[in-house]
Amino acid sequence: MKNESKLRHCLFSGVFMILLLSAFTLPGCHRQPPVLRVATNLWPGYEMLYLARNLGYYNELPVRLVEVPSTSQVTRNLRNGTLEVGCLTLDEALTLLQDKIDLRVILVMDESCGGDVLMAKPDIDGLKGLRGKRIGFENSTVSAVLLDAALVEAGLQINEIKQVPMSVDEQFQGYMTDKADAVATYEPVRSQLLRKGAKILFSSAQIPGRIIDILVVRAEVIDKYSEELTALLDGYFRALEYFEKHPLDAAKQMEKRLGRDPLTQFKGLHIPSLNENYHYLRGDSARLLKSSQNLLEVMLKRKLLRHSFSFGNLAEPKFLPNQKP
C-alpha cells in the first residue's frame, strides 16, 4: 500500500507539473518577451537614452539600460554576448569586428567636434613645437587617433615626441607637476587645464567624423529584437526633440547622472539629427563606411589593429524612425 500510495503521489505530481508548464505555452497565455539590454558608460553623448527613459518613452517596453563603469566593460559584454546592444566609439567597434564579433551600427549618437583636444604648456609654439616634448595620453585608440592626426598636421613622426602613457584621471596632475608638456584629453580635464592657462593646439573639430560614438547591436539578435530596437530609437529621437525644445528641463533631469550644469558637457559634441543619421547609415555611400575606412587605415598605421578586414554591412538604418517630410 505504501508503494502504491507513493506511485499515485508521483503520478499526481508529474501531471501537475505538465499542466503547470503547459499553461505558459497555451495560446492566449501572456509570456514576458525577452528583455533588450543596452549597455552604456557615463557620457553626455549617451544621455538621450536615459532622458527617454525618464520621460516614460520606454515604459511597458522590454528595454533595460545597463550602466557600467567603462567602455571596456561594454566591449567585454558585447564580445561575450552577455548584452545585446552597446554604446561604443567607432574605433572600439572596429576592434571587435577585427575579432569576428559581428556588429551592426544602428545609430550615430555624437560626433566629437572639439570635445577631444591636444593641450600644451603656454610656451610651446604651435604643433611643430611639440618636437622632443613629452605628450601624455591615454593608451586608447581615441587618444591615439587624435594624436596621430595632430602629428600629421605638424609634419612630425611619432618617434619625434616622447610618449607618456597617462590615464585621463592622471592627466591634470601630470600636467601640473611637469610630468608632461602636453596631453591628449577631454572633459572634464579640458576645462580644468584651460583654467590653468593651457592652450589647445589641436582638436577633434579638425578631423570631423573620425571620433564618433555609435550604438551597436550584435548581428545574430537583430531578428529577435526587431520591434524593441525600433522602439529604442523612436524613444531616443523623441527625447532628442524634447532636449532641443526644453533644454533647461532636460538638464534638470540629466543632473542626476551628469552632475551640475550638464549642458556645458555638450560643448564640443554634435548630436546628429535623424536626417544626419540617414546620411551616416543608408546606402552604399553611407558616410559611416567612409569614416570607418579612414579610421581603419589610421589604426593599422598605429598598430592599433592587427590586420585589415571588410565591413560593408556595418551600417544598418532600418530601425531609424521614418524621416519627416
The per-residue pLDDT for range 251-295, each reduced to its tens digit, is 999 998 888 888 988 988 999 999 999 999 998 889 999 989 988
pLDDT exceeds 60 at position 126: yes
User: Cβ neighbours of residue 94 under 8 Å, at least 6 residues apart?
Assistant: 292, 295, 296, 299, 305, 311
Q: Which CATH architecture fits 117-206?
A: 3-Layer(aba) Sandwich (3.40)
Give the pLDDT score at 29: 46
CB neighbours of residue 13 within 10 Å: 10
Say if domain 36-111+210-301 classifies as CATH 3.40.190.10.
yes
The two domains 36-111+210-301 and 117-206 share their CATH topology (first three levels equal): yes
Instruction: Give me the mean pLDDT over the 71-96 stretch.
Output: 92
Instruction: Give me the mean pLDDT over the 91-97 stretch.
Output: 93
- pTM check: above 0.85: no
Three-state DSSP at 244 gives helix
Tell how strand 199-203 and strand 63-67 pair up. unpaired
Q: Which three three-digit cell numbers place residue 223?
A: 531578428
Q: Residue ranges of the domains in the chain?
A: 36-111+210-301, 117-206
Task: Name the residue type at position 215.
Answer: L
Task: Supply the angle between the helices 90-98 and 141-154 in degrees, to the nearest 10.
Answer: 110
